[in-house]
Structures are given as structure tokens and as C-alpha cells.
């Protein structure tokens, strides 16, 4: 979920090239709705988005038994150090834009392996 369509498009192409199915949302409300409908294995989420922002999305998703355990990775252009700290306190991986695509793909693999092969 990101309101910057070029970033969504680039990330979508990259993930699809790696064999992942991708569903996109461009604001917080659409993201929460799509998450409940699609039940993804992982969410990549911008902190700053229209209609509530990334932390608002996390709050809403953690209220539902169907979505509370979906792993989330934040990507953000925000320079606020508090955002990174808050993300880590919530157990969410955090990457600053511009991010290293290979590093982000590695984080996706790690998060999905944990979900697919629980300890």
C-alpha cells in the first residue's frame, strides 16, 4: 500500500518477477478493505498515506483475528526517527525510501518463510 503509484508499479513488477502474486492499494481505507477481502500473506505499507496512514492501518488490522498476524513491512520517505522506532516496537521491519530493492526482497522472503514454515 502506497499512495505513490510509481513506487507501487515498480515494486509490483519486481515482486511479480520473483513469482509473487500482488494486490495493490493506494490509500489506507482501500488497504484495510483489500486486506480483509484478499487475506494476503504479507503487507508492504507506506507510513504516510491518505485516509489514516500506515500506523492507522496497522491498528485496524490488529483488531481482527483474520488480519492481526499478517506480517507487515513499512517503507517510508519519512525522516521522522519516531516512525522507525514505533515500527520496531510494533515488530515491523522498516525501510527508508529510497530502499535497496534486493534488501527489501530479502525481507519479503524472510517474512514469508516465517509464515509458511512456522517454528
Q: What residue segments make up the domains of the chain, in order of their start?
A: 5-113
User: 73 near 45, Cβ under 8 Å?
Assistant: yes
pLDDT, position 17: 93
Residue 1 — pLDDT band, cuts 50, 70, 90? low
User: 97 near 76, Cβ under 8 Å?
Assistant: yes
For domain 5-113, give its CATH number from 3.90.1150.10, 3.40.1410.10, 3.40.50.300, 3.40.50.2300.
3.40.50.2300
Taking only the tens place, the pLDDT of each residue in 2-57 is 567 888 888 999 999 999 999 998 888 999 999 999 999 999 998 888 777 889 99
CA dihedral 45, 34, 67, 80 (to 10 degrees): 20
Give me the sign of the Cα torsion angle 26, 28, 29, 35. positive
Taking only the tens place, the pLDDT of each residue in 86-96 is 888 888 888 88
Residue 115 — pLDDT band, cuts 50, 70, 90? low
> What secondary structure, in 3-state letters, does 39-85 show?
CCCCEEEECCCCCCHHHHHHHHHCCCCCCCCCCEEEEECCCCHHHHH
Q: Give the C-alpha separation, 65 to 71, whole Å.
A: 13
Nearest to 27 by CA among 6, 40, 43, 46: 46
Taking only the tens place, the pLDDT of each residue in 63-86 is 999 999 999 999 888 777 788 888
pTM, to two decimals: 0.85
Residue 116 — pLDDT band, cuts 50, 70, 90? low
Q: What's the full length of the chain, in residues?
A: 119
Q: Which three cell numbers stand for residue 115?
A: 509464515
Amino acid at each position: 500500500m502506497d499512495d505513490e503509484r510509481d513506487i507501487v508499479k515498480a515494486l509490483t513488477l519486481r515482486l511479480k518477477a520473483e513469482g509473487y502474486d500482488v494486490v495493490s492499494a493506494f490509500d489506507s481505507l482501500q488497504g484495510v478493505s483489500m486486506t480483509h477481502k484478499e487475506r494476503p500473506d504479507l503487507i508492504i505499507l507506506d507510513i504516510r498515506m491518505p485516509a489514516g496512514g500506515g500506523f492507522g492501518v496497522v491498528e485496524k488490522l490488529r483488531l481482527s483475528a483474520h488480519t492481526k498476524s499478517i506480517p507487515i513491512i513499512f517503507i517510508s520517505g519519512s525522516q521522522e526517527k519516531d516512525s522507525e522506532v514505533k515500527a520496531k516496537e510494533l515488530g515491523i521491519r522498516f525501510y527508508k525510501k529510497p530502499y535497496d530493492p534486493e534488501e527489501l526482497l530479502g525481507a519479503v522472503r524472510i517474512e514469508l518463510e516465517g509464515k509458511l514454515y512456522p517454528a
